[in-house]
Amino acid sequence: MAKITPFKAIRPVRDKVHLVATRPIYSYKKNVLESKLEDNPFTFLHIINPEFGGERTTQPNTPERFELVKEEYQNFFNEQILMKEETARIYIYRQTKNGHAFTGVVAGASNDEYRQDKIKKHEATLTNREEMFIDYLDIVGYNAEPVLLSYAPNASLAQRISEITAARPEYEFTTTDRIKHELWVLSEQETLDIQQLFESIDSLYIADGHHRSASSVGLEDRRRRQNREVKSNEAFFLAFMIDEQAMQILEFNRVIHSLNGLSEEQFIEQVSEYFDVEPCEAKTLPSREHEMTICIKGNWYRLNCQEQIIEKDHPVNSLDAEILTQYILYPILKIENLKTDKNIEFIGGTTPIKKIEKKIKKGKYELAVFLYPVTIDQVKKVADNQMIMPPKSTWVEPKLRSGMTIYDINE
Confidence of residue 151 (pLDDT cuts 50, 70, 90): very high
Confidence of residue 235 (pLDDT cuts 50, 70, 90): very high
When pLDDT is averaged across residues 156-184 and rounded to a whole number, the result is 97
Count of alpha carbons within 13 Å of 22, Cβ hemisphere only?
22
Contact between 370 and 253 under an 8 Å Cβ cutoff? The reply is yes
Kindly report the length of the chain: 411
Question: What are the helix (H) ranges across 258-343?
Answer: 264-271, 320-324
The reply to whether 252-372 shares the fold of 4-249+398-408 is no
CA dihedral 349, 355, 357, 358 (to 10 degrees): -170
Q: Which of 55-64, 160-169, 173-182, 401-410 has the lowest mean pLDDT?
A: 55-64
Residues 6 or more apart whose Cβ sits within 8 Å of residue 318:
310, 311, 312
- pLDDT score of 24: 84
Per-residue pLDDT tens for 185-207? 999 999 999 999 999 999 999 99
In CATH, the number for domain 4-249+398-408 is 3.90.1530.10
- Measured distance CA(164)–CA(358) in Å, rounded: 46
Contact between 397 and 248 under an 8 Å Cβ cutoff? The reply is yes
- pLDDT score of 302: 98
When pLDDT is averaged across residues 225-239 and rounded to a whole number, the result is 93
> What separation in angstroms does the CA of 131 have from each of 264, 333, 378?
43, 33, 29
**252-372: in CATH 3.30.1370:** no
- pLDDT score of 292: 98
Percentage of residues in the chain having pLDDT higher than 70: 100
- pLDDT score of 98: 93
At how many degrees (to 10) do helices 210-225 and 127-140 cross?
70
CA dihedral 105, 110, 111, 116 (to 10 degrees): -120
- pLDDT score of 152: 97
Per-residue pLDDT tens for 46-59? 999 998 877 778 99
Residue 1 has pLDDT above 90, yes or no: no
Q: What is the DSSP string of 17-39?
A: HHHH-B--GGGS-HHHHHHHHHH
- pLDDT score of 259: 95
Closest CA relative to residue 303, chosen from 348, 282, 272: 272
Parse the chain into domains and list their residue ranges.
Answer: 4-249+398-408, 252-372
Per-residue pLDDT tens for 10-41? 999 999 999 999 998 888 888 999 999 999 99
Closest CA relative to residue 295, chosen from 318, 268, 323: 268
Residues 6 or more apart whose Cβ sits within 8 Å of residue 361:
298
> What separation in angstroms does the CA of 345 have from each of 39, 293, 325, 354, 389?
32, 17, 13, 17, 17
Closest CA relative to residue 160, chosen from 189, 118, 203: 189
Please tell me the chain's helix, strand, coil percentages from 3-state DSSP, rounded to the nearest 5: 35, 25, 40
